[in-house]
Amino acid sequence: MSYIWKEWLELSRGKAFWLFFLLVVAASLSVLMSAKSLPAEHGLTIFLQMMFDMNAYIVPLLCLFFASFSVMQEKEQRTMVMIVAKSGSPWQFLWKKSAAIQLITMMVFVVWYFVLIIPAKFWFVFHLSYFLYFLLATVVLVFIFNQIGIGLGFACKTKIQLIGANLFAAFFFIYLYDFVLLYILPSVTYDNVHVFSLVYFLQPLHALRFYLETSLGMFSLDYLSRTMKKFFSFPPGALVALNMFVWGLGALVASMVWSRKGEER
């Protein structure tokens, strides 16, 4: 609990997070205003999808920077050494730090979206399940990129390194991953499309968009070709879980390794 409180104080006193979050607020409001003119019956679906598309660009950057700098601050101010000495193991520190960062950032996003949905509830026909699907997709997005950010925070030695690593990570997920897939696309056939599907959906932004759009009934999986049918044969929920496992757990293990290396030094 003390970790969460400490994290909250650090976050609420720092300007960077709020400034960045102000961008999320401004962008969300602009999306809401542009969606206002949509027909009430379908407005909520489209509004939530537009919100997710916006989040897909902003949330990775925000979470990477916030989580990684939070760890870097502990390292620079030497509070990490003190906490590790007090609590006994770097693993415990990592676990508690991750839990605190995750809880606070998720809470900030969830509270804001509950506020944002109030006017949307009056303008559109409201489906609670749709809103919950959106919240789940956003929370998973926050979780994955926070965890990667924490990993980078442990891996980097200086702030400059960390900025570079964060930008690379964002660039990797938003541009590079798909760019590589585009070049291997000609070699994909019906026989290996399952493997390609797994690799494609191992990009959290793809898996979460697929999950959200199918849950909202926006993305039609009817009348597909044989290859496409095979490509989309994995359940969206399972793909999201796979991403959480691979990126979340992967980043956690990497953080563990890097924190031990730091300790050895």
Partner 1 sequence: MKRWLLISLFIFFFFDVPKEAAAGQTLQQLIDAAPAHGTIRLTGQTYSGNIVIDKPLTIIGAKGTVIRGNGRGNVISIKAPHVVIKHVTVTNSGKSRSTQEEYAGIKVYSDYNTLEHITVKQSFHGIYLSQAHHNRIANVRVIGEQNGEIAGQGNGLHIYYSNFNKLENNTIVGTRDGIFFDYANHNVAKGNKVSHTRYGLHYMYSDDNAFYDNTFMLNNGGAAIMNSNRIILKNNCFLFNKGMRSFGLLLQMANDNRIIDNTFYQNERGLYVDQSNDNFVRRNVFLQNEIGIELWASSQRQTFTENRLWKNTIAVTRLGGEDNNSWDFRGVGNDWGDEAALLDLNEDGKGDSPFRYASSFHKLAEENELAYLFLSSPSLGVYEAINEWRQAGEVMAVDHAPLVKKSASASWWWGLLGFGAITVIGLQRRGRR
The binding site for partner 1 (CB under 8 A) comprises 15, 19, 22-23, 26, 30, 39, 41-42, 45-46, 174-179, 181-182, 185-186, 188, 193, 196, 200, 209, 213, 217-225, 227-228, 231
- Amino acid 97 reads K
H-state helical runs in 88-127: 90-123
**DSSP state string for 140-197:** HHHHHHHHHHHHHHHH-SSHHHHHHHHHHHHHIIIIIHHHHHHHHGGG--TTTHHHHH
Residue nearer to partner 1 on the CB measure, 217 or 235: 217
Q: Closest approach of Cβ 158 to partner 1, in Å?
A: 24
CB 137 within 8 A of CB 208: yes
153, 71 in Cβ contact below 8 A? yes
Q: How far is the CB of 179 from partner 1 (least distance, A)?
A: 4
183, with CB counted inside 10 A (0-12, 13-18, 19+), is: exposed
Q: Of the two residues 30 and 92, which places its CB atom closer to partner 1 in the complex? A: 30
Residue 174 Cβ, how far from partner 1 at the closest point, in Å? 6
Question: Minimum Å distance from CB 87 to partner 1?
Answer: 33
4 or 46: whose CB is closer to partner 1?
46
Tokens of 184: 């291997």
Cα angle 143, 146, 150 (rounded to 5 degrees) comes to 135
Number of residues assigned to the chain: 265
Q: How far is the CB of 119 from partner 1 (least distance, A)?
A: 20
Judged by CB, which is closer to partner 1: 125, or 249? 125
CB of 258 to partner 1, least distance (A): 29
How crowded is residue 249: how many other Cβ atoms within 10 Å of its Cβ? 11
Whole-number Å distance between alpha carbons of 135 and 195: 29
| CA distances from residue 248 to 112, 173, 233 in whole angstroms, order as listed | 24, 14, 24
Minimum Å gap between C-beta 115 and partner 1 is 19
Q: In this complex, which beta carbon is closest to partner 1, that of residue 7 or of residue 213?
A: 213
> CB-wise, 218 or 242, nearer to partner 1?
218
Asked whether the beta carbons of 240 and 210 are under 8 A apart, the reply is: no
Complex with partner 1: residue 111 or 184, whichever CB lies closer: 184
